[in-house]
Amino acid sequence: MKLGSLKEGGRDGTLIVVNRDLTRGVRATTVAPTLQKALEDWSSIAPRLRALAEQLEDDKAVGSFELDTTALAAPLPRAYQWADGSAYVVHVELVRKARGVEMPPSFWTDPLMYQGGSDSFIGPNDEIEMADEAWGIDFEGEIGVMVDDVPMGISPQAARKHIKLVTILNDVSLRNVIVGELAKGFGFFHGKPATAFAPVAVTPDELGDDWNGARLDRPLISTLNGKEFGHPNAATDLTFDFGQLIAHAARTRHLEAGTIVGSGTVANRDPAVGCSCIAERRVRETLEGGKPLTPFMSFGDHIRIEMFNRAGKSIFGAIDQKVVRYTPPA
Amino acid sequence: MKLGSLKEGGRDGTLIVVNRDLTRGVRATTVAPTLQKALEDWSSIAPRLRALAEQLEDDKAVGSFELDTTALAAPLPRAYQWADGSAYVVHVELVRKARGVEMPPSFWTDPLMYQGGSDSFIGPNDEIEMADEAWGIDFEGEIGVMVDDVPMGISPQAARKHIKLVTILNDVSLRNVIVGELAKGFGFFHGKPATAFAPVAVTPDELGDDWNGARLDRPLISTLNGKEFGHPNAATDLTFDFGQLIAHAARTRHLEAGTIVGSGTVANRDPAVGCSCIAERRVRETLEGGKPLTPFMSFGDHIRIEMFNRAGKSIFGAIDQKVVRYTPPA
């Protein structure tokens, strides 16, 4: 089944069940008011949401409506945790190579992960508001999973069964801010503003054979200002799968239901497939020609991120955002 | 007024109003079910909580009960954001000196801040469960503030008015894990397990003249295994006040109501006042005698962190925790 949130009913939105074609929805309020609440009690709530999803597919759901996915909030409009990995180590290796810095071999065995801000995500079609173009505004196309309660110290294999939903996201990044920020030694803060999510999150069974329990075997399509930017496959060159990433996140603490774990920018070694962020293309340009050619995003630029199933249908709906100027309060 | 949360009614606990002496409480459920909900609509809810607090002081609150502060949850048992600064730069300078590394001068003007995990805080008397003593288990006594909605790009002066509650906390840290983690470049993750909070958070007016709108002018007392470890004053040597820290956190994004902003380990230049974490004492020992003498915490060790007003009464109640061994699931 596919789940999303309407921008109504408060800060956490209103949970809806969405049909496979993303054309119709139905409020799930009789089952659970919000997606967060559903994840907190998933084993008892999921079967009832699934029954509603079946009614919706059969056009028998009372109160169903024609859906405009562009008007949706992020499936979790805010979350208690957003833990983002960097699981395509080939991407990290490229970045290091362009900077002339050796990558520690441990990066192939010990996942990189940062604690992201989760208090106010933005919807799939919300504008990316930024005060300054000079910050180096970039998108990052990623896969994310939402889990129920995960105990501290869980194994990667056991962690897999806690994956309840899968989605895609745009981990908006400010490249020129990140450089100075990481040099300070405390990780990302300003460089990672509000993250955007696809209209819906889906249960793993919706992904069929393209989901092996811990990774998603489909290309992620990024389109910048109407032109394809990349279509790397999310299973290719994935160094750490979601079982490993969740176990990593839970090494020294329990993870609360509703935690979102991210893959990091989807990247493949093959340059022919393109990139899921501008930074990687600039790195490739630097390695080829000595300097980056593609600029970061300007006010007015559009980024679209989407994934299709084997039949060519959009799985999660599209992230489609415009960068706009933000004016801070006086 | 003083606010806390009972460990009942679900994951966010049940909001209670607590009297000044921390001896009696009353459920605030008719006003707001949880502290998170109160912060989301503070301007309309705070006056009603205040009326209840006055009734409680006058012994006229219906349903009031004798309070055991040791049984409380953290005031916010979980939060959408935990942004922790390192505002006592004298502490950072000491750490660097012991490592023989120069501190960038920008550290005096540009706050250090990391994104903390906020999905499952622990209560003031909850055990600190850790799988391995070798991780270098340490406490960090800090001041924290809780804000309502803060717009992106706010000024430090305007940020002050968003401070709704003040508390103290124990930012549990794993020193031997942090070394390797920070070297990876993405900041803290494993090194910062679940944070513990005092029994109550208080409105700034409870602090009287000891609160200047952005800093708290009282000593923070840390007691390790029954012996005083330090009593640095939280206003002395504070390089960035809470107005500046909130503005820093909001530079590239809005902060959702219920965000907690921390000061970092309270530290003073004067060695006579002691320390609010073991790491700092070890640094001072290294600078004096060439090597650290005080070990990090072992299973069975107790840490108590508390702050008293000028009349000698506990303001927030005590954080009083024991470190115990955690056994991961099979």
What pLDDT score was predicted for residue B101? 83
B278 touches chain A (CB under 8 A): no
Nearest CA in chain A to B183: A185
Nearest Cα residue to A310 out of A197, A207, A191: A207
Average pLDDT, stretch A36-58?
98
Measure A250 CA to nearest chain B CA, in Å. Answer: 8
Residue A171 makes CB contacts below 8 A (sequence gap 6+) with A84, A116, A139, A140, A142, A192, A195, A262, A264, A265
Residue B98: the pLDDT is 81
Task: Please report the pLDDT score of residue A98 as a whole number.
Answer: 81
CA-angle at A222, arms to A84 and A291, nearest 5° = 85
Rounded to 10 degrees, the C-alpha dihedral A106/B97/B186/B238 comes to 160
- Interface mutation target, options B119, B155, B175, chain A, most CBs of A under 10 Å: B119
Tell me B91's DSSP state.
H
Is A105 exposed, middle or buried (CB count within 10 Å of its CB: 0-12, 13-18, 19+)? exposed
For B76-325, which CATH superfamily applies? Fumarylacetoacetase-like, C-terminal domain (3.90.850.10)
Find where tokens 């249960």 sit: A203
Q: Does A282 touch chain B (CB under 8 A)?
A: no
Q: How confident is the model at residue A330 (pLDDT cuts 50, 70, 90)?
A: confident
Whole-number pLDDT of residue A32? 98
Q: By the CB < 8 Å criterion, does A156 face chain B?
A: no
Question: Residue ranges per domain, chain B?
Answer: 2-70, 76-325
Nearest to B237 by CA among B197, B278, B209, B271: B271
B116–A115 C-beta distance less than 8 A: yes
Cβ atoms A305, A139 nearer than 8 A: yes
* Set of chain B residues whose Cβ sits within 8 Å of the Cβ of A155: 329
Entry pTM: 0.98
Query: If you search the block for the tokens 């699981």, which residue do you land on?
Result: A87
Q: B30: Cβ–Cβ under 8 A, 6 or more apart, which residues?
A: none
Find, among A222, A241, A242, the residue nearest to A308 by Cα. A222
- Give the separation between CA B294 and CA B301, rounded to whole angstroms: 13
Contact A117 B81 (CB under 8 A): yes
> pLDDT tens digits, residue range A279-327?
999 999 999 999 999 999 999 999 999 999 999 999 999 999 999 999 9
Tell me the mean pLDDT per 10 residues along chain B, length 330.
97 98 97 98 98 98 97 98 97 86 91 97 98 98 98 98 98 95 93 98 98 98 98 98 98 98 98 97 95 98 98 98 95
Distance CA(A204)–CA(A167), nearest Å, equals 10
- For residue range A101-139, list pLDDT tens digits in order: 889 999 999 999 999 999 999 999 999 999 999 999 999
Calpha distance A305→A138 (Å, rounded): 13
Q: How far is B251 from chain A (nearest CA, A)?
A: 7
DSSP per-residue letters across B113-139:
EEEEP-SS-B-TT--EEES-GGGTEE-
Distance CA B236, CA B245 (A): 16
pLDDT for residue A95 is more than 90: no
3-state SS, one letter per residue, for A78-100? CCCCEEEECCCHHHHHHHHHHHC
What is the reported pLDDT for B96? 86
| Burial of residue A188 (number of CB atoms within 10 Å: 0-12, 13-18, 19+) | buried
Cα B260 from Cα B255, distance rounded (Å) = 10
Residue B188 is nearest to which of A155, A174, A187, comparing CB atoms? A187
Q: What is the predicted pLDDT for the residue at A100? A: 82
The alpha carbon of residue A146 and the mean position of all alpha carbons in its chain are separated, in whole angstroms, by: 10
Q: Can you tell me whether residue A14 is helix, strand or coil?
A: strand
Neighbours of A235 (CB within 10 A): 19
What CA–CA distance (Å, rounded) separates A37 from B58?
Answer: 38
Nearest-neighbour CA in chain B from A264: distance (Å): 12
The chain-wide mean pLDDT, for chain A, equals: 97
CA closest to A10 among chain B residues: B40
One-letter amino acid of B253: R
pLDDT over threshold 90, residue A240: yes
Contact A273, A219 (CB under 8 A): yes
- Distance from the first to the final alpha carbon of chain A: 46
Give the pLDDT confidence score for residue B102 in this predicted structure: 87
Contacting B residues, span 250-269, partner chain A, CB-CB under 8 Å: 251-256, 258-259
Contacts of A307 (CB under 8 A, 6+ apart): A168, A216, A218, A219, A220, A221, A234, A314, A315, A316
pLDDT at residue A193 is higher than 90: yes
- Beta-carbon contacts of residue A205 (< 8 Å; ≥ 6 apart): none
At B95 the pLDDT is 84
- A117-143 burial, b at 16+ Cβ within 10 Å, e below that, comes to bbbbbbbbbbebbbeebebbbbbbbbb
Confidence of residue A254 (pLDDT cuts 50, 70, 90): very high
Question: Least CB-CB distance to A80: which of B78, B114, B135?
Answer: B78
| Whole-number Å distance between alpha carbons of A284 and A251 | 34
